[in-house]
């Protein structure tokens, strides 16, 4: 059997592809799966695409060149300036408070001092962005910040939240908080909560000497009293610090910081003795209440130095809260209120008459109740009486108006004026207090027919309590007038103490005349109208005074006073007690002299002044 055979059929031959040739135009072709590519009719030409590529390359190159140049400028040429500008935007400047100087009394007891406090401030825009988590609770924004801060500040959280909420860049949250309160708030690290250091003025003795000290305003500047007149020295010079702050207003640790230190103020030591000031203040307040007076003043000065030891008034402001009583203006009426001195001014007439030789302490006069001068002016004494046989000393001791006119009428009018001026009337003393008044002393050629005699017994002119006291201190100081003052010395921030320069002095009358008048004044206490001013163990010289005045209700009233010195044998202090419109009695010997005895006696003991060791040799008062 034969094997079958398979017939194979030859495959058809594949066509041979001829490579494409470039067209004569030079347009490239592109091979693809289906054959050569040719530009789409109506599309961009190859040349146009080449141009686009070229433009793109150029643009990219230009951009890279610009960026490279900018980078080079930033890092090289302008880098410092840009860095400085950026730093400036992060800098903030705060004032460094200068410590205000302390005010102390003559013994170093603090009367006014400053303590550190802080004003808390908020940037409300920054608080909005703040959040924190404590003890699993999340706090955020103004409400969350208020919840954390309220217990520390002791305020209502809702009210505090209202204060923190808003768009203000600067707003006070709390003022004058204690350092420990601010530290507790600061530790919360709340964005936008910052502080300003301030100083709070504190007066540890309340209203003691408040009429002299004054107070500072909300800006920390002296607004009244010594705080105002001595402000330039007490306040010092503030410094400042500039630092780099973060977004929340906090200082960046290790960042830029530059400071100019503050220069603290100088501290002042006053001549005031706190214990004597307290005694005088208590005494005048009690006597004003007891007598129903409108007001009262006590002034005490050291005779030889002019230092004011006390200047007390019946209504004295508390500098810690000066607005508590709007009827108190806060100044010292002892230098601002003027009044007719009355009979206390008679010692000027006596000093002038003795100094010029018109009379002597023993000259004899028959003194009537009424006396009419050559120009027809009639004057009378306070009490009706028959003719009294008095010496010059007796006229002063009995405070006779008619007798004083009889003596003083022989003084030329200009001489009368000149002696009043020499003793300080009509001019400011220059004491370191604001609102001091000069009083009123008309020129002699302006005196009318009555005034030229009335000035001899303290009417027709006006003075302050300090001026009136100064007259007696001058007589007790051998006729030498010493400018009264309140500043004993200054202490620099480094602790160096510099005493004040010695006060200016003026010889008003001779030592002999002064001693004669001082002895005559002793008779006014021992035998005359001022007997209630006596101090056991001490010799006292002084003079009572009663003068017409106007009451607060507009009716006519009086000013009653006693001014004296002690010890008369070695004068140390001059003290005036002045009451305006007392209702219980109009006589200075009744309402003012006992207060002098109480306050002056206390001061002599406080100052360690020994009792008098001699007995007075007084001039006779009658003949």
CA 122 to CA 55: how far, in whole Å?
Answer: 56
Nearest Cα to Cα of residue 398 among 447, 354, 406, 152:
406
CA 28 to CA 21: how far, in whole Å?
Answer: 10
Nearest Cα to Cα of residue 193 among 136, 141, 230:
141
Nearest Cα to Cα of residue 418 among 508, 314, 539, 537:
508
How many CB atoms sit inside 10 A of residue 70's CB? 11
Q: Give φ, ψ of 209 to 5 degrees.
A: 60, 20
> The sheet that has 308-313: what strands, in order across it?
308-313, 295-302, 573-580, 556-566, 541-550
CA 317 to CA 330: how far, in whole Å?
Answer: 6
Residues whose CB falls within 8 Å of the CB of residue 532, separated by 6 or more in sequence, listed in order: 589, 590, 593, 594, 597
CA 237 to CA 240: how far, in whole Å?
Answer: 10
Residue pair 575/554 in contact (Cβ under 8 Å)? The answer is no
Q: Give φ, ψ of 523 to 5 degrees.
A: -65, -30
HEC profile for 118-160? Answer: EEEEECHHHHCCCEEEECCEEEEHHHHHHHHHHHHHCCCHHHH
CA 142 to CA 519: how far, in whole Å?
Answer: 79
14 SS3 class: coil
CA 564 to CA 545: how far, in whole Å?
Answer: 11
Q: Which residue has the tokens 């939240």?
A: 161
242 SS3 class: strand
CA 117 to CA 109: how far, in whole Å?
Answer: 23
Residues whose CB falls within 8 Å of the CB of residue 502, separated by 6 or more in sequence, listed in order: none
HEC profile for 37-85? Answer: ECCCCCCCCHHHHHHHHHHHHHHHHHHHHHHHHHHHHHHHHCHHHHHHH
* Catalytic residue status for 343: yes
Nearest Cα to Cα of residue 281 among 271, 273, 269, 292:
273
CA 351 to CA 363: how far, in whole Å?
Answer: 14
Cα dihedral value 41, 46, 51, 53, nearest 10: 110
Catalytic residue among 106, 195, 274, 343: 343
244 SS3 class: strand
Report the run of H or E that residue 103 belongs to, with start and end: strand 103-104
Q: How far apart are the first and last CA of the chain?
A: 205
- Looking at the annotation, which residues are catalytic? 343
């Amino acid at each position: 059997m034969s094997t079958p055979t398979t017939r194979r059929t030859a495959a058809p031959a594949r066509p041979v592809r001829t490579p494409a040739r470039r067209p004569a135009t030079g347009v490239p072709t592109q091979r693809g799966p289906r054959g050569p590519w040719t530009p789409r009719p109506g599309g961009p030409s190859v040349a146009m695409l080449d141009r686009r590529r070229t433009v793109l390359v150029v643009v990219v190159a230009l951009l890279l060149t610009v960026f490279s140049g900018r980078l080079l400028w930033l890092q090289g040429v302008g880098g410092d300036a840009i860095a400085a500008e950026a730093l400036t935007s992060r800098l903030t400047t705060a004032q460094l408070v200068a410590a205000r100087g302390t005010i102390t009394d003559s013994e170093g007891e603090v009367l006014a001092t400053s303590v550190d406090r802080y004003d808390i401030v908020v940037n409300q825009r920054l608080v909005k962005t703040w959040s924190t988590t404590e003890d699993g609770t999340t706090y955020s924004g103004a409400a969350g910040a208020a919840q954390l801060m309220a217990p520390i500040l002791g305020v209502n959280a809702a009210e505090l939240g209202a204060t923190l909420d808003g768009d203000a860049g600067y707003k006070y949250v709390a003022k004058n908080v204690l350092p420990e309160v601010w530290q507790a708030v600061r530790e919360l690290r709340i964005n936008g909560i910052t502080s300003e250091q301030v100083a709070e003025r504190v007066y540890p003795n309340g209203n003691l000497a408040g009429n002299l000290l004054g107070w500072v305003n909300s800006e920390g500047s002296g607004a009244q009293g010594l705080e105002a007149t001595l402000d330039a020295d007490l306040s010092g010079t503030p410094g400042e610090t500039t630092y780099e702050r973060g977004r929340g207003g906090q200082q960046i640790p290790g960042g830029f910081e530059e400071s100019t230190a503050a220069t603290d103020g100088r501290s002042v030591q006053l001549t005031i003795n706190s214990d004597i000031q307290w005694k005088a203040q208590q005494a005048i307040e009690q006597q004003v209440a007891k007598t129903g007076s409108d007001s009262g003043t006590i002034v005490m000065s050291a005779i030889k130095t002019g230092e004011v030891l006390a200047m007390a008034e019946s209504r004295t402001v508390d500098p810690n809260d000066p607005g508590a009583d709007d009827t108190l203006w806060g100044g010292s009426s002892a230098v601002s209120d003027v009044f007719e001195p009355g009979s206390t001014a008679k010692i000027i007439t006596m000093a002038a008459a003795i100094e010029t030789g018109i009379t002597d302490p023993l000259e004899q006069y028959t003194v009537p109740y009424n006396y009419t001068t050559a120009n027809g002016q009639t004057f009378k004494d306070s009490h009706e009486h028959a003719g009294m046989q008095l010496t010059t000393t007796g006229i002063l001791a009995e405070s006779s108006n008619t007798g004083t006119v009889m003596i003083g009428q022989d003084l030329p009018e200009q001489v009368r004026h000149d002696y009043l001026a020499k003793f300080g009337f009509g001019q400011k003393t220059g004491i370191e207090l604001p609102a001091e008044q000069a009083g009123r002393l008309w020129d002699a050629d302006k005196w009318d027919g009555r005034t030229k005699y009335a000035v001899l017994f303290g009417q027709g002119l006006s003075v302050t309590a300090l001026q009136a006291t100064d007259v007696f201190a001058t007589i007790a100081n051998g006729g030498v007038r010493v400018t009264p003052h309140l500043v004993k010395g200054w202490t620099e921030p480094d602790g160096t103490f510099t005493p004040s320069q010695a006060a200016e002095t003026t010889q008003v009358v001779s030592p002999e005349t002064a001693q004669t008048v001082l002895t005559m004044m002793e008779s006014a206490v021992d035998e005359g109208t001022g007997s209630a001013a006596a101090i056991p163990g001490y010799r006292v010289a002084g003079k009572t005074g009663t003068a017409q005045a106007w009451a607060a209700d507009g009716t006519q009233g009086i000013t009653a006073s006693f001014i004296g010195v002690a010890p008369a044998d070695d004068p140390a202090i001059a003290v005036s007690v002045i009451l305006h419109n007392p209702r219980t009695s109009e006589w200075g010997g009744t309402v003012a002299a006992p207060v002098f005895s109480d306050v002056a006696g206390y001061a002599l003991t406080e100052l360690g002044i020994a009792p008098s060791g001699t007995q007075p040799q007084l001039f006779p008062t009658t003949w």
